[in-house]
Structure 1
Amino acid sequence: MADLICLGEPLFELNACQDGRFKGGFGGDVSNVAVAAARQGIDVALLARVGDDQFGEKLRGLWSREGVNHEHVLSASSEDTGLYFVFHDGDGHHFVYRRKGSAASRMLPEHIPDDAISNARMFYTSGISLGVSPELQSTTQQAIHAARQSGISIAFDPNLRTALWPLDMARQVTHDAMRRCNIVLPGLDDARQLTGLYSPEDIISFYHRLGAEIVALSLGADGVSVSNGQGIHTIPGVTVPAVDATGAGDCFNGIFLSAFLKNKDAVKSAELANRGAALSTTGFGAVDPIPYEKDLTEGNHFND
């Protein structure tokens, strides 16, 4: 039985380095979350679809090395694994995607075994999984329904990507999904666009009214505000020599969920995840810099 089962779109990453070369790596928000959680020592499984190609094989190699169960990740002979490129400049990092018609975008509800979700303790997915394609949207919605019917906890990051779909549609579909979720993990910029609200307090109240028991609102470099509905606790950001924030939010989510599954304490989980997400920005790529459990418990990488 998995502690955490994640559904979404795996991607192969090509990250631009300062010398003009590209460093190969791994991405896809849900895959990143799965790896981050597995590095904290919990049992993690993945529901996904990749191409029967070298990129898909490299992703499987990653999951095997990281201890992420990928027995329910299907290989498609007629579609490719999605790719994305990361470029960096003075304004931050920028993405270019090659995902249209990918294997993940054509994942259907029947690709998920009947007991895969019900045998887990928690289910995680994101707004990207809802926005990539109509097929993956339907699959994600049915998976959320299955998790709800099974009585397991559901965690969700709206992870807004306006390049995938119009904002009005994203707002409607995402909020409909979030009504069924126990834990929501939005970023501040995404939440402002989706809710039309500005202050973290108003946004957190909105998501509680939507049905969330726990809200962990990422404030980027300013830390995180977390609430269980009884009060908001804001954890300040930590100072690190950041070079690449790719996947930092995914890293936060994976560490938060793994810690919460262990201790059921949202504030302590957010404190740990806040530190881990900061540490993940000190290296390039979405996966390589994700810290392991021992890196966080040693606690000697930060200047608070």
Structure 2
Amino acid sequence: MMGIVTIGETMVLFQPIEEKPLKYNSLFTKSIGGAESNVAIGLSRLGKKTRWVSRLGNDPFGDLIISTLAGENVDTSFVVRDDAYPTSIYFKDIYRIGEPCVYYYRKGSASSAWKPEHVDKRWFANARILHMTGITPALGEATLEFTMECMKMAKLMGLTVSFDPNIRFKLWDEQYAKQALLSLIPHCDIFLPGIKEAQFLFGEKSHEELAKEILELGPHTVAIKLGSDGAYGVRKNEEPVMVPGFKVEKVLDSVGAGDAFASGFLAIASDDIHHFSLEKAMEMGNKMGSIVIQGKGDWEVLPYLEEVIADTNSRTR
């Protein structure tokens, strides 16, 4: 049984070795980064079977991504290698603590060529959950339709669809982004926005009002990430749940925190997708996010299950 399928673009990441502005660096480390593959790695480290579906260039950068994901026990058997389009890259300016500045070079990438007719039923075979983000619909001319087709097919095959808007304003026009993301929400079952993302989509409202409005569009579960304040969640016909955040001494790198939350949340949800504890799912999501922001890297600092258990035990002593 394949627990969770994620679909999305992963890029090769270059980071300066020295902690000074990007333009003054001449030496870089090489890694990978992508929201959906981050979630797949996080879930795999928590003991869940995951499959990552993508398109990569038939180039050395694509080779690196495949080998890295395979090394994390993520199934990459449905990744397409494209001779006509390259693998994307991006650079991260990290000389300041906290929120880094990111520069993408992903226009015309292999993943930007996705079309609805590329969707394959085999991707979803024997899986419980499909997880996608709002990054994929921003990549190309037909990637919004591709994303919607993935969601529709997954639901037809009995999967629960999880969606994180993961808004990247550098990738598309704000007004179009809003319309596109709102069109996708009715096709998901679990919606995982940050508070600022939810307010961008639905207006400057409280998290309680936002969650209620989102539920009316179709999802049965909403969990709104509130940063250091924790998370607020609600299910249809159930009482809402507020889960506090975990205190951390210092935030080193906030990139990947939302993906860590999604991996923790879905790890709990996948155990019993129809009757899972919303409170426990958000607690695990918060825990994963709090661990990740204390280290540098999109996925490298995602904890293994035994580390999460050890962290939990240390907090309860």
When structure 1 is superposed on structure 2, of 111-120 and 37-46 the one drifting more is 111-120
Cα 1:109–1:202, aligned 2, differ >3 Å: closer, same or farther?
same
Q: Give the SS at the match of 2:67.
A: helix
- Paired residue for 1:83, among 85, 89, 99? 89
- Paired residue for 2:306, among 264, 271, 294? 294
The answer on whether the counterparts of 1:46 and 1:73 sit within 8 Å (CA) in structure 2 is: yes
Cα 1:91–1:151, aligned 2, differ >3 Å: closer, same or farther?
closer
Q: Provide the C-alpha distance between the structure 2 equivalents of 1:27 and 1:272, rounded to a whole number of angstroms.
A: 22
Within the alignment, does 1:10 sit opposite 2:10 as a pair? yes
Q: Give the aligned residue type for 1:14.
A: F
Q: Provide the C-alpha distance between the structure 1 equivalents of 2:97 and 2:316, rounded to a whole number of angstroms.
A: 24
What residue in structure 2 maps to residue 23 of structure 1?
Answer: 29
CA drift of 1:18 comes to 4.4
- Paired residue for 1:277, among 281, 284, 289? 289
Deviations 1:234-272 (A, max 9, x none): 222212232111111011101211111115111101101
The answer on whether the counterparts of 2:98 and 2:254 sit within 8 Å (CA) in structure 1 is: no
What is the TM-score when the length of structure 1 is the normalising length? 0.94
- Paired residue for 2:253, among 244, 262, 279? 244
Within the alignment, does 1:254 sit opposite 2:263 as a pair? yes
Cα 1:212–1:22, aligned 2, differ >3 Å: closer, same or farther?
same
- Paired residue for 2:51, among 42, 45, 55? 45
The alignment-based identity, stated in percent, is: 29
What is the TM-score when the length of structure 2 is the normalising length? 0.90
Q: Give the aligned residue type for 2:49.
A: D
When structure 1 is superposed on structure 2, of 105-114 and 205-214 the one drifting more is 105-114
Q: Which residues of structure 1 form unaligned runs of 5+?
A: none
Within the alignment, does 1:54 sit opposite 2:63 as a pair? no
Q: Give the aligned residue type for 1:257.
A: L
Q: Give the SS at the match of 2:84.
A: coil
**What is the 5 A alignment of 1:262-273?**
262-263=271-272, 264-273=276-285
Cα 1:163–1:223, aligned 2, differ >3 Å: closer, same or farther?
same
Q: Give the aligned residue type for 1:15.
A: Q
What residue in structure 2 maps to residue 138 of structure 1?
Answer: 145
Cα 1:168–1:301, aligned 2, differ >3 Å: closer, same or farther?
farther
Deviations 1:267-292 (A, max 9, x none): 10110110111101111110101111
Q: Which residues of structure 2 form unaligned runs of 5+?
A: 21-26
Q: Give the SS at the match of 1:283.
A: coil
Number of residue pairs aligned between Structure 1 and Structure 2: 304
Within the alignment, does 1:166 sit opposite 2:173 as a pair? yes
